[in-house]
Chain A
Amino acid sequence: MQKNILFSIFGLVIGIVLILLAVFVFTGSTTLNGACYGIGAALIALSGGNLIGKSVIKSVETPETLKIQAIEVNDERNIRIRERAGWNTVRIFTPVLCFLTLASALIGVELYVTLTACGLVILLAGLSIGSQIYYDKRL
């Protein structure tokens, strides 16, 4: 928990620094300026949101709620539901991604879009094979 909060504070500081860099330093370059604004805003939103969420949870946290939370997280039926939901999502998402990759190649969009989509398909396949090998050895 403590590590998570430190990580969020670090993200928040980096985000603020990036926004300040975009405002005061990289005013000439539009690409660098835009990247600093984008990444900075994303870091501030994610880290700030995480910190606010943690403080809200902390204010209503009791030993009873912690126990219930632990039971819900470790409940074997919930674990099985999460695994099935994840598997179904991948099963549905894989052909959609393949179709989008093929469509992007056929309609002639920018090459980097098609290559990125191809990379995602390869990454998905690699992760799937890697996970199967890992769990085959472990279980």
Chain B
Amino acid sequence: MENRIKELRTARNLTQAELAETISVSSRTIISLEKGQYNPSVLLAYKLALVFGCSIEEVFIFGKEDGIF
């Protein structure tokens, strides 16, 4: 699943380590999320959306390749 984490993080002048600390995950998790290698749980997606002040749909882009549509 594609996401806009890197874009939203840099727009808020946050480093990967700072974002990781804010949502209590390891920096490696943020790196994997930004690369699109790891799909987070709903809880983590919700936390990220809260940090960026937007909805989950605005952070994660649900595409055709992810099924259903």
Contacts and interface: CB of A to CB of B under 8 A. Distances in A.
Interface of A: 71-72, 74-78
B35 interface: no
Interface of B: 20-21, 24-26, 28-29, 32, 38, 40-41, 43-44
Contacts, number: 25
A77 B29 contact: yes
B29 to A, nearest CB: 4
13 contacts: A71-B20, A71-B21, A74-B24, A75-B25, A75-B28, A75-B29, A76-B29, A76-B40, A76-B44, A77-B25, A77-B28, A77-B29, A77-B38
A58 B31 CA distance: 31
A81 to B, nearest CB: 10
Nearest to B40: A76
A77 B28 CA distance: 9
Contacts of B32: 77
Contacts of A75: 25-26, 28-29
B65 to A, nearest CB: 21
Given A76-B29, A77-B28, 8 more contacts: A74-B24, A76-B40, A76-B41, A76-B44, A77-B25, A77-B29, A78-B26, A78-B29
Nearest to B29: A77
A71 to B, nearest CB: 6
A72 B27 CA distance: 10
B17 to A, nearest CB: 11
B20 to A, nearest CB: 8
Nearest to A70: B24
A76 B32 CA distance: 12
B37 to A, nearest CB: 10
Contacts of B29: 75-78
Given A76-B29, A76-B44, A77-B32, A71 B38 contact: no
A72 B41 CA distance: 16
